Amino acid sequence: MKQVAIILSGCGVFDGAEIHESVLTMLHLERQGARYQCFAPDIEQHHVINHLTGEEQDEQRNVRVEAARIARGDVASLDTLDASAFDALILPGGFGVAKNLSDFAFKGAQSSILAAVKESCQAFNQLGKPIAYLCIAPALIGHIHPAGTLATIGNDEATAQAVEALGASHVNCGVADIVVDDTHKVISTPAYMLAGSISEASTGIEKAVQKLLEFA
């Protein structure tokens, strides 16, 4: 049975991991016969957003503690992720990727990435193990993989330009499709960058998971 690591960035689309994408990832992995383990960095969130009003809250939350809401408590510290113990890796989207795992939401083409995320992803890459990036997570590809690695965030021109400036080669992609870099075993899909419903997001995520497990 394939073992897949999932890196979460909190809980909630505006300040953490996108919940629908995270749960769909788990569902499709399980349906396709794989097991998974969730990981998250033990750090403070960039900020906390009230998801009802969209306003920033005057409080602090921990990324791993929040991710535990999605993982039903079973989320390990990212520092303990050992690429040799898994067959593949997947990163759901949500603004937490661009605010907590990196500062892409604020700095775009000048962004940097959390060292633990970069090291974990590169460890999988160096072992020839596949990685799937969902939604905004492909914005990290240029930070992690060799220049020219194929990536998609859908078709938003400004975001695609920032992805290219960071070194990835952006490919426009529909919500139901995936972009695959066969050389580097990197898969990406737009998910909620384009999806108007949970079923639309599910279609691309299912294909991404299927391809991930094929590579693995």
What CATH code is carried by the domain that includes residue 8? 3.40.50.880
**Given this model, what pLDDT does residue 216 score?**
96
The answer to whether the pTM exceeds 0.85 is yes
Residues 6 or more apart from 33 whose CB is under 8 A from it? 1, 2, 213
For strand 186-189 and strand 131-134, is the pairing parallel, antiparallel, or unpaired? parallel
Range of the structural domain that residue 55 is part of: 3-215
Cα distances from 21 to residues 12, 70, 87, 157, 197, in angstroms, run 10, 11, 20, 23, 11
C-alpha distances (whole Å) from 195 to each of 140, 155, 190, 206 are: 20, 12, 8, 14
* Active-site hit among 11, 121, 135, 173: 135
Mean pLDDT by 10 residues, the chain (216 residues): 98 98 98 98 97 96 98 98 98 98 96 98 98 98 97 96 96 97 98 97 98 97
Count up the domains in the chain and report the number.
Answer: 1
Residue 113 phi/psi, 5° resolution? Answer: -125, 145
| Residue 121 designated active-site | no
